[in-house]
A and B are shown apart, each in its own frame.
Chain A
Amino acid sequence: MSREKFFRLLPWVTTPLLIVVIIVVWEAVCRLANVNPLIFPPPSMIWDATLVLLAQPTTWEAAGITTIETVVGFVIAVALGVVIGVVLGKITWLEISLRPLIVISQVVPKVAFIPLFVIWFGFGMTSKIVLVVLLAFFPVMLNVLLGVRSVERGQREVMASLNATKWQTFRHLEIKSLLPYLFAGMEIAIVMSVIGAIVGEYLGGNEGLGYLVVRAMNALDAPQMFAVIGLLSLLGLILYFVVNEAKRFVIPWHESVYGQRENVL
């Protein structure tokens, strides 16, 4: 086996192995030290709780709601982030005059607003979507802004020497240079979106996977809490994977994509 191939296959062997080791050690510690399962349940109990959860239709309903909140909020955040990022990237005086406000609004703990959002938008999905948009918007907007300004000077001069129109320069150069930055922003944004939806449900809701965590906590059901957290992680992982695959499909020419394939070391 070539060295390159070895390094490509390595994580497919080590990752499952490590997970198995962690689970076995976890289970052993819980049993041997006789840990109270109310405080720290062993994997076997969490597995049973997961099976119980998956058998209930309410779980799937909750997962659906959380997914919708996450995806809708993410899409709105990306759309807003692209438009505002491009505008601010192109109009320097606007960006400079708004910069202090942007920094402030980024630092503001947006999660603290969720009770207000509940008052304004109710206990339903809207208040959570608003939080998701707020959390996911900034990484997209800031990356797009950076991307708009990061067109290589030499490539710009090529278009100038070819007497390209503004639209041609945008289509062949600017938008292509922007895409890697947009995807970098989207990869952060999808993680923030999941966090936003869950926190929103924790703090002000009666539906969704985040609410199931709160319900399990109120019932002092630690195994079920772990089970819901496991489902949330799975949801986050799937959504991140989708964004990452979209990136590989849209910008196969970019170093962040072909670098993974060709230069494993």
Chain B
Amino acid sequence: MDINAPAPSPTGDSPATVGVPRLAIDGVGRDFRTKAGITHAVSNVNLTIHRGEFVALIGRSGCGKTTLLRMIGGLLAPTAGSIEVDGRSLWSGSQVDASVITKLGFVFQESNLFPWYTVLDNIALPLELRGVGKRERRARAAELAALVGLAGFEKSYPRELSGGMRQRASIARALSTEPELLLMDEPFGALDALTRERMNLELQRIVLETRATVVFVTHDIPEAVFLADRVVHLTPRPGRIRQIVDIPFGKPRGVDLQTDGAFNDIVRNLRHDLDEED
């Protein structure tokens, strides 16, 4: 399979782990028992992601992209294969390794903020769970609020924010523990088109600033091509990788790229391949 990824970016990792991929997915599958028998939601997926890479998973509904991401995120145990983060296995059987899951940050489709906490306390929650002192976690959360463009809203409650701002807060919350790997499950799926476009630019800026490694699930092809270094196309029944497309454009990318001929060729080809499926 295709692993000619762009060279890993210098992220200041210790020399011991430089050669190890950030994420190694090997023969991963997930079956569900249903009344009709066994459904293969995900089958034999192999994928290697390197430091600083931005990988988008695309496919139609039911192609297993969210299932795959939930397995990478430690929320759903795979029934086959192994997932390694920095060379350490995430799952042992159906048990998740606590020391590995702490390397991950998860952003959901809904912001899932806690309405009883302020924006600042929501962002700081993962740090509080880790026992970071109040002053330190507040300072860190304030930095992150500024990073995602929420400066001045630290003391607001989630209900006082727009959908886009809530999703910014949830991204900041996921970044608060400085995750090795940021997993995003259609984070902008519930937003309107204009907000979404702005959030894509913001996300690109944040990812470049934090040098994060990202796995990003979406069903929006232009969004995937705009954000990703590689786009992974999954096909349903059973969910498996059909192709991996390298996106050659340098970063940061501007909105003008979306009217670029080469950009639209990639989008058109991918759309064609997705339409071909049935």
A contacts, CB < 8 Å to B: 152, 154-155, 157-158, 160-164, 168, 172-173, 176, 251, 253-255, 258
Contact = CB atoms under 8 A, between A and B. Distances in A.
Interface centre among B98, B126, B157 (most CB of A within 10 A): B126
A163 B99 CA distance: 9
Could you say which interface size class chain B belongs to? 20 to 34
Given A162-B129, A163-B98, A253 B74 contact: no
B115 interface: yes
A203 to B, nearest CB: 43
B108 A253 contact: no
Given A157-B75, A161-B73, A164-B129, A254 B108 contact: no
Contact of A160 (B75, B110, B126, B159): B75
Contacts of A251: 116
Given A154-B108, A163-B102, A253-B115, 17 more contacts: A152-B112, A155-B112, A155-B114, A157-B112, A158-B112, A160-B74, A161-B74, A161-B106, A162-B129, A163-B96, A163-B98, A163-B101, A172-B114, A176-B116, A253-B157, A254-B116, A258-B159
Nearest to A169: B129
21 contacts: A154-B112, A155-B112, A158-B108, A160-B75, A161-B73, A161-B74, A161-B101, A162-B129, A163-B96, A163-B98, A164-B129, A172-B114, A172-B125, A172-B128, A172-B129, A173-B114, A253-B115, A253-B157, A253-B159, A254-B115, A255-B159
Contacts of B98: 163
B212 interface: no
A255 B116 CA distance: 11
Contacts of A160: 74-75
Contacts of A258: 159
A154 B110 contact: yes
A205 to B, nearest CB: 43
B142 interface: no
B104 interface: yes
A98 to B, nearest CB: 30
Interface of B: 73-75, 96, 98, 101-102, 104, 106, 108, 110, 112, 114-116, 125-126, 128-129, 157, 159
B116 A168 contact: no
B140 to A, nearest CB: 15
B75 A161 contact: yes
A205 B16 CA distance: 82
A225 B114 CA distance: 50
A152 B101 CA distance: 22
Contact of A162 (B116, B125, B157): B125
A161 B125 contact: no
B108 A157 contact: yes
